[in-house]
Structure 1
């Protein structure tokens, strides 16, 4: 190898050895430059007066959000060694930014000049993630934040910002791991929802488990329930809730049998809040707890909520979770409600409910939240309404044009008096307690409290209710009820509305059209197999009575209260009593047969057979006129005529007894029923008695024994034509359309004693004479019962 080649190879080898040295020198220089840059940056950051940058920062933020923004205090940047990092990462310092006295302005129409204020904000930024375009903030510390939320009636609000467009998606992402503050406040002024409120928020000083909060709320809610339904009612409610909870737990255990149960995540509360203000004129005061603010970011972890709030006379409390808080996906809450009347929930929830006595409930509220289709179910709840229990489930579905309320409710023990507020028939003390100012006139029995038809279009409803056992006064023969309540576009229907009455049934169909004024009502009622004995449970003279009452009614009316509807009623009311017996003493007393009354009182035990009884009334503009109102027995026929005026609740009825046997010492004079529903008067016709007394005195002057002649009642053996009467009564009653007058109808063409005082056509007596029948046959009685 030549010398020249050797030198060339040596040069190449030297060049290869110098490359690493060159790279090392370059790297060293780069590191030095970086170190110098970092040192210079740190030195600059530490020595530079960042307050000089405030005008520039204020201007950029103001332009970005479209609102005045200002840092009015010191702006500082410091460096500190990161906490919790290990290895070489612990030597990379993090910058800490601090700004004091920050204000964010409001639109010029707002009442408050500032949307938000902060005494101080401080946060650190991890340096290394910035290389990957990620801003990681371990924690933001806020000192005394305050926010003013405001909305006008026209819909303008101050929480919507006009953020300037960036022209494209950002390549940076933000990660916030914690948010801490000592105290904060939120002022709410919402003219649309009529809310004025001050809310204070603070840390709890430590995590509180959800289970502990649930126990505390149970005790607090029981005390609130006792204020509404009494200690006994609250205790009964707690017992009901315990039974329902045990049943629910057993059902859940049965459904999950064979599968290992996963332990739920431990949920804790970190923040507490208080609120005070007003909602639609009603005072609001409440408090509660929340999970940590950063927990709101988790979509797969429930966010804990707790609230105990009073709105006017309504108490609302809840403990539970909100799933995916950022998107309001679902709710799962234990919910307690208590108040003076369920109708007061309308102002809070927009749900139309009836007037009731004070109530308290306890149940689970489950919500599935979707835009335009929110569904809330108050499932398996228990409650007390007045002295009655109530149980069941209700589902509220948000939809257009009106939301829908569905469900089934059951009361095992229903106090009849608790139904009175629904139609405004409760007493003045009850009305005052539920906040009703309508005064019932002292001389009126029918309720004058108006229906709140303005609320009927706010919601549709489809709810079934069953009262298994009704507790009532001894003289009321009602035992149970069930009904199906449907409300659709302002039309309320109770179809059917069934009562168990006197061993039979009273079935009604009620339709109230509140979509226009005045309200239009249609009513139909069918009474079947009502036992005479049970209809008058406290009347000793009726305890041996047999037989059944069957009847039908059809009415229509207009008016915005029960009293107004009755005052405009048109239609027909019919009823018959099929074969049975009645106390002989009662019949003798009705005829005022003095000697027989005394005898029956002392020795009588026999009952009198009822051949038939019938009542047929025609209602015309609130006046009930009797076409037939009569009773036929073996001993007597009693005919009743006159009218009942529902407009002023007055009565003017005449009772005309006709004996079927020889009676001595009979005053056999017409009786009358007059006065009002609240103050009825029953007595003997004074003019008829005066005539008899005058005749007795006159004859007594001639012959003392002749004075007895006016008190001797000869037999009147003309019975009612029962078969003929039944045939005419079997025609179904009808009513004209609401607001129309019932067409005039002639009296029923019957013969016999009923026609004598009832105004019926006398020519029908020939038909009765030809028939030769008066009592109903078993087949005829059965036919009417089954119709």
Structure 2
């Protein structure tokens, strides 16, 4: 049966068409269009485009191949090409193309090179290629028609997009930022095989980042309808691995590199990450980043996103030198807007000796501390955003003491509001105690403390904008050997003024209430304080604060002080007043009654080295660092002591007059004479660390004390001799010369000798 003419003619037509498509490239020189293409690109971009060769084919596929394509760099930048490609080869299936379906058989880019530059002023070599906005006239044309037609055609083409292979081989990307060393991404290879819209597509990417290899293997898709593509829900599953990335090439871009991590040129980063994005929008990720430097830092994580605005942190852990340090979990919300967070942070115990490796200053801070703190850890629940942080629960474990903190911090200002509570808190281990500086020998009349280089006055004016509201409650606070019960303090700050009103606590069977304020709005800062003490035992207080065991009694004290400055030099501006009262106490180490007994009756047995008193009181006024007292008074069963004088806190010297007066009897222990009225005035002068005590003895002193000193014995005779009387010596024997009589000590010498027993070191 013969073939129908229609079929025969069709086959002949197809055959002629195939022959035409095969022979057309030999008769049509596509390179004749090269100049037009180059000129058109230069007109649009202002950059010169050169194409080495253009080749084309029409059957069995439509193919275009461009060799040695070069696009020049922007004027004012380096002579490197902005983009260059050794070969660009595209092959399209012919038959689907006739029905407007794009079916890529092969898309290949060989040795592409991109050179990106940015100057210090922010200008870049790609900034001029940004699309300019359409003119109003163009924008007002039949937009709806264009969108409808082109959108439909484009959608049809994209919907049918598929390819047997897409590849980029041996690519290179160079980044130059200002004067920093260039960073190069080399040996870049990208391969996509069997590209389909209805099946997952395998993607492989590999390369070297400045000589450091990395690999990415992933499956993307199925893509589905490209007109409805949502990248957030596009299925992706892949793995990124980069074992060693040296940071030296990026050194100029990294600011704030910690010195504790050593030389950045020797630092290496390793990355390993698994990423999964599911069609429902759920994204999972886990992996680790390792920084290998002077110390090794490891961060590993596992996170998921149920939507584009919420990130759940199932685990973020930090380890240092293979030792776990921190663990974080929680969530971050509103990623597309102003992010907020809610995090739980848990730390492992941090040893002070380990921490000094990263904070060397700790060695100096605690060099002379007999028992510094050992470790700290914390557990915190915090929430907030870029504007503030809410501390919902912070638990600090300071050695064995648990301090609980709640509150909020607003960064604008800032505004700090905290509440702190603890059952017990030992502060001594946390107070810095550095090496004591040995004072240099000095022959100057100025005290050594003032001759030393003065400390720098801190400038606290940056605190003027701070708002602070802080409350602290501790059942038992230990500080400098003191045990403070029911400790409470409130601190409020605003406009540069910080008030502590009040701080109160139980101490040594009594109560202390202190109010204070500091004004940091001006330089230097000024401050004032008032202290009210009731029924505090002075002995334990002095023992703890100064290591002194010389005074006991129940103490009451009130002071009001003010000064300008926070260094030792501020004592020059110290002003204020105060009073102190001690009852039913002892002055230890000073047996005033026994000294008088020894003085008046040398054979009397010594008593205990202490002096009881019923009352010891005085008040003082301070003007520019100089304190004066005119009403010192001590009452005991035997003595009344009064005194007045000056204490110069600036030069650390004193000038003080004391008058002890005997008001009772010295009967007993070898002395059976009443000594009422005996007065021995003393003058105490000199520096604090080496005062000199001298009796103020003159003729008036001796005359005033004569009634108390007159008795049978050498004191009365000596006093008589001093006043002009004479005692004749008895002959040693008949006719024999009398032995020379021993000259009695003068009353003045006897007073001095007696005072040696009254005042230790006199």
Matches for 1:7-406 after TM superposition, within 5 Å: 55=70, 70=83, 95-106=165-176, 109-114=178-183, 117-124=185-192, 127-129=195-197, 139=203, 141-145=205-209, 172-174=229-231, 175=234, 176-183=236-243, 184=245, 187=250, 189=252, 200-203=268-271, 270-274=287-291, 286-291=296-301, 299-302=310-313, 304-308=315-319, 317-321=325-329, 323-324=331-332, 329-330=340-341, 331-335=343-347, 360-375=375-390, 379-384=394-399, 389=401, 391-393=403-405, 395=407, 397-404=409-416, 406=418
Matches for 1:487-502 after TM superposition, within 5 Å: 487-502=493-508
Q: Distance in 2 between matches of 1:345 and 1:517?
A: 34
Give 1:412 deviation, angstroms.
Answer: 2.3
Higher strand share: 2
* Cα distance per residue 1:461-519 (max 9 Å; x no partner): 43344565555777x68778543344445434333233543321222112121222111
Matches for 1:317-716 after TM superposition, within 5 Å: 317-321=325-329, 323-324=331-332, 329-330=340-341, 331-335=343-347, 360-375=375-390, 379-384=394-399, 389=401, 391-393=403-405, 395=407, 397-404=409-416, 406-410=418-422, 412-416=424-428, 418-419=430-431, 421=432, 426-428=433-435, 448=455, 450-451=457-458, 453=460, 456-457=463-464, 460-466=467-473, 468-469=475-476, 481-532=487-538, 534-535=540-541, 548-561=554-567, 563-577=568-582, 580=584, 582=586, 588-589=592-593, 592-594=596-598, 610=614, 612-662=615-665, 668-677=679-688, 679-681=689-691, 683-685=693-695, 687=697, 695=719, 698=722, 702-703=726-727
Q: Distance in 1 between matches of 2:469 and 2:188?
A: 55
Instruction: Note if contact 1:275-1:287 (Cα within 8 Å) is conserved in structure 2.
Output: yes
* Cα distance per residue 1:580-618 (max 9 Å; x no partner): 3657995734984536999997678999662x4421111
Instruction: Note if contact 1:500-1:506 (Cα within 8 Å) is conserved in structure 2.
Output: yes
Instruction: Note if contact 1:527-1:550 (Cα within 8 Å) is conserved in structure 2.
Output: yes
Structure 1 unaligned regions, length at least 5: 1-21, 81-91, 149-168, 208-264, 277-283, 349-355, 432-439, 714-787
Instruction: Note if contact 1:638-1:658 (Cα within 8 Å) is conserved in structure 2.
Output: yes
- The TM-score normalised by the length of structure 1 is 0.53
* Higher-Rg member (1/2): 2
Instruction: Note if contact 1:626-1:641 (Cα within 8 Å) is conserved in structure 2.
Output: yes
* Cα distance per residue 1:58-79 (max 9 Å; x no partner): 999x9xxxx9964778878998
> Given the superposition, is the C-alpha separation of residues 140 and 652 from structure 1 closer, same or farther in structure 2, using an over 3 Å criterion?
farther
Instruction: Note if contact 2:645-2:656 (Cα within 8 Å) is conserved in structure 1.
Output: yes
Q: Distance in 2 between matches of 1:635 and 1:291?
A: 80
SS of alignment partner, residue 571 of structure 2: helix
2:47 aligns with none
Instruction: Note if contact 1:572-1:618 (Cα within 8 Å) is conserved in structure 2.
Output: yes
Instruction: Note if contact 1:699-1:707 (Cα within 8 Å) is conserved in structure 2.
Output: no
* Cα distance per residue 1:604-652 (max 9 Å; x no partner): 8999662x44211111011111132212334322112111112122222
Structure 2 unaligned regions, length at least 5: 1-6, 22-56, 91-103, 107-161, 213-225, 276-281, 362-368, 439-446, 703-714, 729-742, 752-762
Q: Distance in 1 between matches of 2:207 and 2:661?
A: 96
Greater RCO (CA < 8 Å, at least 6 residues apart): 1
Give 1:550 deviation, angstroms.
Answer: 1.5
Higher helix share: 1
SS of alignment partner, residue 622 of structure 2: strand
Equivalent pairs, count: 535
* Cα distance per residue 1:664-721 (max 9 Å; x no partner): 79884233444444x14363426569976985863697349998988999xxxxxxxx
RMSD: 5.9
